Amino acid sequence: MSNRITMAEVARQAGVSIMTVSRAVNGKDGISHATRLHILEVIKSLGYRPSGIARSLATQRTLTLGLVVPDITNPFFSEVTRGVEQLAHQHGYHVFLGNTEEDPQRELGLIQSFEEKRVDGLILCSSRLEEDSLLEIIARLPAAVLINRRLTQPEQDAAVDSVIIDETGGAELAVRHLLSRGHTAIGFLAGPPTSFSGRGRLLGYQRAMQSHGIDFHPGWIAPCHPSVEGGQQAAGQLLEAHPELTALFCYNDLVAVGALHASSRVHRAVPHDLAVVGYDDIPLAALVSPSLTTCRSPRLVLGSRAVEVLIQRMQGCPGGCEHQVLPVELIIRHSAP
């Protein structure tokens, strides 16, 4: 390797002991101002950089976090990542990024690797792992936070920190907006029924409809793949089967864009002939035309809040686990004014 300069070398050149150098480097006291200055001088001239590895071995802390996401190119996760990095940096931590490519097997591997890297804390975003594995893993780690997921069993849920979005509340907000504009025949392009957010948003839709005294129409709900193509296809079929629908609430913005495409195909102008509402407010939402009315999920905050919870836990703060639920904001644009 490149013959790195060590503390011993600095100590030799400065004519002091290793311990004194250590004190100077870490800004601790018990050292005269003069020698400190001198040592700092030597350090600079030698280009010495302390070894985080050696330090971590001695202190049993790495000042390192692990972040696991399903797909970093997804704007949702990239913004969560940004939030995580931002706050980690603020607290002097650095972050290992793991991309699972949606593969639970890789997720497991990454978590294990991060454990071997001795991360001080782990953030699992939209974990695809089953509850048992998840719980087992988290128990092994010094600190861990789930983003975008909670465990279903109450006792288990109580044992793990989490930060999530108010999926149901956001969906209610969106549907209520449509209802307030006079729509009653509102379809729902539902996402994956297995996902946490899929279930939450469906529940919100149902609640809002029910609270308005609207009969439940199973036919108005169409599951679809959470993509533009999925949305386009599902919207096309739904509108054909149920021409009475005057509005569509979509699982996410990609699906909504697909709905936009589909409606233009069947010559229903948005928003005049059909109102469309999305979810997430990804950058795309403001750029398509008509621009999307949508629910803004606080992605960056999701990440930064997770780090806060983690750091609190790492500092051994007392109290039980935290379950933060972040509110969602309705952004009204042209697709459903």
Partner DNA sequence: CTGTTAGCGCATTCAT
Partner DNA sequence: ATGAATGCGCTAACAG
Contacts to DNA by CB under 7 A: 4, 6-8, 16-20, 22-23, 25-26, 29-32, 35, 50-51, 53-55, 57-60
Q: What share of the chain is helix, strand, coil (3-state, %, to 5)?
A: 50, 15, 35
7 binds, among its own copies, DNA, none (CB under 5 to 8 A by kind): DNA
Q: How far is the CB of 50 from its own copies (least distance, A)?
A: 6
Burial of 182 (0-12, 13-18, 19+ CB in 10 A): exposed
- Kind and range of the H or E run holding 303: helix 299-314
- Closer to DNA at the Cβ: 9 or 131? 9
Regarding beta strands 329-331 and 186-190, do their DSSP bridges make them parallel or antiparallel, or are they unpaired?
unpaired
> 78 contacts which partner out of its own copies, DNA, none, CB within 5 to 8 A by kind?
its own copies
Q: Which does 6 bind (CB under 5 to 8 A by kind): DNA, its own copies, none?
A: DNA
Examine residue 271 and say whether the peptide bond preceding it is cis (omega within 30 degrees of 0): yes
Q: How far apart are CA 255 and CA 191, in angstroms?
A: 9
- Beta-bridge mates of residue 212: none
Which residues, in sequence order, are bridge partners of residue 90?
none
Comparing CB distances to its own copies, the nearer of 81 and 293 is 81
Give min distance, CB of 18 to DNA, in A. Answer: 5
Establish how many alpha carbons lie within 13 A of residue 188's alpha carbon, considering only the half-sphere containing its beta carbon.
Answer: 28
| 173 alpha-carbon distance from chain centroid | 21
| CA–CA distance, 30 with 24 (Å, rounded to integer) | 9
Give the residue with the Cβ less far from its own copies, 199 or 268. 268
In whole angstroms, the minimum distance from the beta carbon of 312 to DNA comes to 21
- Distance (Å, whole) CA 20 – CA 205: 65
How far is it, in rounded angstroms, from Cα 158 to Cα 174?
A: 30
Q: Which of 9, 157 has the CB closer to DNA? A: 9
Residues in contact with its own copies by the rule CB under 8 A: 1-2, 47, 49-54, 56-57, 60, 62, 64, 67, 71-73, 75, 78-79, 81-82, 85-86, 89, 94-99, 101, 106, 112-118, 140, 142, 228, 257, 283-284, 287-289
Q: Choose between 136 and 240: whose C-beta lies nearer to its own copies.
A: 136
Residues in the chain: 337
**Smaller CB distance to DNA: residue 19 or 241?**
19
Q: Which does 71 bind (CB under 5 to 8 A by kind): DNA, its own copies, none?
A: its own copies
The entry of its own copies, DNA, none that residue 287 binds, CB within 5 to 8 Å by partner kind? its own copies
